[in-house]
Amino acid sequence: MTYEIDVGDGIVFLYFQTEGVSLELFVRYYSRRRSNGERVYDGEFRNPVLVAFNLFTLTADHVTYDIASRTLLGTGNVTTANGAGPSTHANSMKFRIANDRAFRLP
């Protein structure tokens, strides 16, 4: 089950349980739309969407989060970092949140 806590000023925390552990997904955004089990977050000029989960961070012009499948789709100027590894840049990237990690999908 996923719980969404909107703290205002373009910040939301999504909490969910996986294998008995509670996890937190932080999203900072400029605007947001809700539709059919998805959350679509948009950034603005010089203020992209920021997603943080454990040691994983993603910034992009737009991020779509599918609640049921726990997938993130970042589009437009996507940059990711995961712990001490190098950052990755692309126009579009998709990830699945599983256990305590974000796994890149094809």
Q: pLDDT digit string (tens) for 9-27? A: 788 887 776 667 677 889 9
Contact 5, 13 (CB under 8 A): yes
DSSP state of 44: B
Q: What integer pLDDT is reported at residue 85 of this predicted model?
A: 81
Whichever domain contains 83, its CATH number is 2.60.450.10
The number of distinct structural domains making up the chain is 1
Average pLDDT of the chain, as a whole number: 89
d(CA 13, CA 51): 10
> pTM for this structure?
0.88
Q: pLDDT digit string (tens) for 45-72? A: 899 999 999 889 999 999 999 988 989 9
Higher pLDDT, 93 or 14: 93
Q: What integer pLDDT is reported at residue 77 of this predicted model?
A: 97
**Domain range enclosing 7:** 2-105
